[in-house]
């Protein structure tokens, strides 16, 4: 398995092919979701974050090593000006087959057409409530209607499928599980239910497992049947057997997907993070800004890949370090 071969890709120490790069373009966000930001918020300065040209250079080297999928995240990526320019740069890189973006949707309506024209393929929208008052309590924002308009515009311009990510929080929004599922059944939504990750360690906060979520859906909305929806992520997909909508489940707690993990993360300030739930980071920004050549960048990427742990230990210990908005989720 030769590093640099775009067919075989680059493999980590546990024989997992790494072909997916999640890129955080900013640590800033126009919302304050309760599971993403905690306490006082300080932001990186302009010179601390990677430029679009620096991101493109890292991505080009990663593509030479077998990365084919890129996802842009934040913070909220659409608060950074001219993010479509970055999409254009990434689209031009040989070997990059798919570019997607995760957003809270509040700024999507005005940017969807430009993003599509630049080469963006797909959109994921983080949405944890369909109720305006609860949306405000969870996110600190009052613009739920803007999210719906952004989703509609994304559909119109062809950024599809538009996937909806719902983090299921017991006692906060779990009573809306069936409402979201019915959107998939009746309105062709693509909804992904994500187990809440208690970053304070095992037992710190209750977790509603995917098995429990699926039981609720099938009891109230109908039987689910395994199906397939294209994507490079860890979700398992189901449908109601008719219609175009799908239900996806992501189980970071009850069923670790570490054995199939295919990704690296690049933070907005230029750190390679081998695992979302492990604080190890490798500085690649310093190499870029100190004249490091392609061989040096590849060595750092290879170091990050080989540093990927076999699994996370979220159920056993707290995850310290940075907040979710700082590492791209």
Domain assignment present for 69: yes
What 201-207 contacts at long range (C-beta under 8 Å, 24+ apart), as own/partner pairs, is 201/314, 201/316, 201/317, 201/318, 201/319, 202/314, 202/315, 202/316, 202/317, 204/318, 206/170, 206/171, 207/170, 207/253, 207/254
Q: What is the pLDDT of residues 292-304, one digit of tens each?
A: 999 999 999 999 9
| Burial environment of residue 290 by CB neighbours within 10 A (0 to 12, 13 to 18, 19 or more) | exposed
pLDDT of residue 3: 45
Q: How confident is the model at residue 229 (pLDDT cuts 50, 70, 90)?
A: low
DSSP 108: H
* Distance, CA of 149 to CA of 231 (rounded, Å): 24
| Residue 244 belongs to some domain of the structure | no
pTM of the full structure: 0.91
Whether 225 is in a domain gets the answer no
Q: Is 176 within a domain?
A: no
Please choose, from the candidates 154, 194, 158, 190, the residue with its C-alpha nearest in 3D space to the C-alpha of residue 173. Answer: 194
More confident residue, 243 or 12: 12
pLDDT band at residue 14 under the 50/70/90 scheme: very high
Query: With bands split at pLDDT 50, 70 and 90, how would you rate the model's confidence at 2?
Result: very low
pLDDT of residue 24 exceeding 90, the answer is yes
CATH of the domain at 323: 3.20.20.70
* Residue 208 resides in a domain: no
pLDDT the model gives residue 251: 83
pLDDT band at 6 (very low <50, low <70, confident <90, very high): very low
pLDDT digits (tens, 9 = 90+) for 196-205: 876 554 445 6
Q: Which of 315, 304, 252, 301 is nearest to 281 (CA)?
A: 304
**Which of 66 and 278 is assigned the larger pLDDT?**
66
Count how many domains the chain has.
1
At residue 319 the predicted structure's pLDDT band, cuts being 50, 70 and 90, is low
pLDDT in tens, 76-91: 999 999 999 999 999 9
State phi, psi for 295 to the nearest 5 degrees: -65, -40
pLDDT > 70 in the chain, percent: 85
Residue 313 has pLDDT above 70, yes or no: no
Residue 202 pLDDT? 46
pLDDT category, 107, cuts 50, 70, 90?
A: very high
pLDDT, position 259: 73
Q: Domain for residue 78, yes or no?
A: yes
pLDDT confidence tier of residue 5, bands split at 50, 70 and 90: very low
Looking at residue 282, its pLDDT comes to 97
Asked whether residue 318 carries a pLDDT value surpassing 80, the answer given is no
pLDDT of residue 35: 82
In-domain check, residue 39: yes
SS3 188: coil
Q: Which pLDDT tens digit goes with each residue over 162-172? A: 999 999 999 99
What pLDDT sits at residue 212?
96
In this structure, is residue 196 part of a structural domain? no
Q: Is the pLDDT of residue 206 over 60?
A: yes
Range of the domain at 89: 10-162+260-327
């Amino acid at each position: 398995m030769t590093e640099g071969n775009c067919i075989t890709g680059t493999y980590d120490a546990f024989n997992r092919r790494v072909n997916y790069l999640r890129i955080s373009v900013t640590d800033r966000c126009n919302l304050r979701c309760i599971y993403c930001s905690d306490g006082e918020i300080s932001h990186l300065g302009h010179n601390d974050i990677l430029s679009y040209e620096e991101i493109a250079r890292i991505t080009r080297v990663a593509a030479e090593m077998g990365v084919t999928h890129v996802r842009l995240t934040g913070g909220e990526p659409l608060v950074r000006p001219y993010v479509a320019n970055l999409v254009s740069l990434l689209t031009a890189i040989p070997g990059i087959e798919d570019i997607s973006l995760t957003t809270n949707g509040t700024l999507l309506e005005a940017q969807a057409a430009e993003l599509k024209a630049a080469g963006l393929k797909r959109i994921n929208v983080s949405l944890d409530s369909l109720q305006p008052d609860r949306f405000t309590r969870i996110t600190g924002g009052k613009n739920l209607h803007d999210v719906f308009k952004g989703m509609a515009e994304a559909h119109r311009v062809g950024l599809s499928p538009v996937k909806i990510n719902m983090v299921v929080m017991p006692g906060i929004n779990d009573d809306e599980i069936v409402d979201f599922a019915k959107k998939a059944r009746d309105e062709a939504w693509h909804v992904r239910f994500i187990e809440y990750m208690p970053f304070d360690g095992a037992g710190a906060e209750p977790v509603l497992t995917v098995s429990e979520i699926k039981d609720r859906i099938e009891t109230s909305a109908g039987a689910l049947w395994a199906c397939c929806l294209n994507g490079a992520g860890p979700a398992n997909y189901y449908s109601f057997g008719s219609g175009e909508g799908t239900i996806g489940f992501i189980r970071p707690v009850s069923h670790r997907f570490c054995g199939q993990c295919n990704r690296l993360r690049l933070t907005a300030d230029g750190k390679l993070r081998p695992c979302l739930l492990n604080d190890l980071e490798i500085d690649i920004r310093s190499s870029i800004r100190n004249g490091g050549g392609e061989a040096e960048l590849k060595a750092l990427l290879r170091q990050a890949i080989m540093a990927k742990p076999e699994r996370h230990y979220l159920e056993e210990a707290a995850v310290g370090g940075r907040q979710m908005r700082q590492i791209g989720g």
